[in-house]
Amino acid sequence: MHDGSSIEVEVWGDGPALLLPVDPRPAEGAEAEEKRKWGMDPALGRSLIDGLSDAFRVIAFDYEGHVMAKPKPDTLTPDSIAADFLAVADAAGADRFAYYGYSWLALSGLQLAMRTDRLTALVMGGFPPLGGPYQEMLKVTMATHELAGAAPTGSTAEPGDWDSAEVTLSKEQTRQFVTLYEALRGFDDRDAQRLVRCPRLCFAGTADVIEYGERWGGVRVDIAGPVRERRAELEALGWQVRELEGLNHIQAMQPANVLPVLRPWLLATLGGGQLR
């Protein structure tokens, strides 16, 4: 990685290469139970791998887990992330590859696509390619950084209640995301489209809107709105667009909802390996 640290990469299956920044290891114990409470598949990464590796050569790497374990408070920039992703592809021997990422890993995919001609396809889930909430996310991450390291209040957030959630991250962990969104301050995602030349797909849940209270910067992070309102513009720019009816941010990232969108599109776009 760009800071000299190392990341584990697992390769599954045969066929066209697909870079997948997910944790291939299922969560266990208390962590798995907490994920279930929030409506998350404890084996999210592994479920995606299992759903794709019969047709594609899936290159899986837990990038989010990596930056949490080895924070990069001053260097988690779009340039560095793209360099890290290319290093993973190089390590796996993938000269050309597709990429799928969700949420901040989706916007990272857009930054990657702007910086390389090696992509065969780009899929962004849970973050709009046009009209992205970059300024809002900067405010949320700055507020999170301010709250990091504070003594816990002892309150327990109900699943889905983002506003009352405790910040259990360190200053270094939160600072790296401030660094990322500061680097994207003023980013023109409309102008960036001319740099994306590969086939591309985006999707989001129609209920993907999070209202953050004052302690989080008092902002409204709307993912669904730009995808819905700018759908015609996105399609004119070459994007395939899918709206997942009634799903929020967490629901729309679950394998049971992602695979019916992602897999057929990748097969139609890239073909696939030998099905087992």
Which residue type sits at 259?
L
Given CA atoms 235, 177, 69, 40 in this order, what sign does their dihedral have? negative
Tell me the DSSP string of the chain.
-TTS-----EEESSSSEEEE-S--SPP-HHHHHHHHHTT--TTHHHHHHHHHTTTSEEEE--HHHHHHHS--TTT--HHHHHHHHHHHHHHTT-SSEEEEEETHHHHHHHHHHHH-S-EEEEEEESS-SSS--HHHHHHHHHHHHHHTTPPP----PPTT-GGG------HHHHHHHHHHHHHTTT--HHHHGGG--S-EEEEEETT-EEE--GGGTS-EEESHHHHHHTHHHHHHTTEEEEEETT--TTGGGSHHHHHHHHHHHHHHHH------
Residue 229 has pLDDT above 60, yes or no: yes
**Residue 40, pLDDT score:** 87
CA dist list (Å): 98 to 8, 237, 260: 19, 19, 17
Q: What does pLDDT average to over the chain? A: 92
Residue 216 has pLDDT above 70, yes or no: yes
Confidence bin at 35 (pLDDT 50/70/90) = confident
Q: What is the mean pLDDT of residues 220-246?
A: 98
**Residue 41, pLDDT score:** 78
Of 31-40, 202-211, 254-263, give the lowest mean pLDDT range. 31-40
d(CA 145, CA 139): 10
Residue 276 has pLDDT above 50, yes or no: no
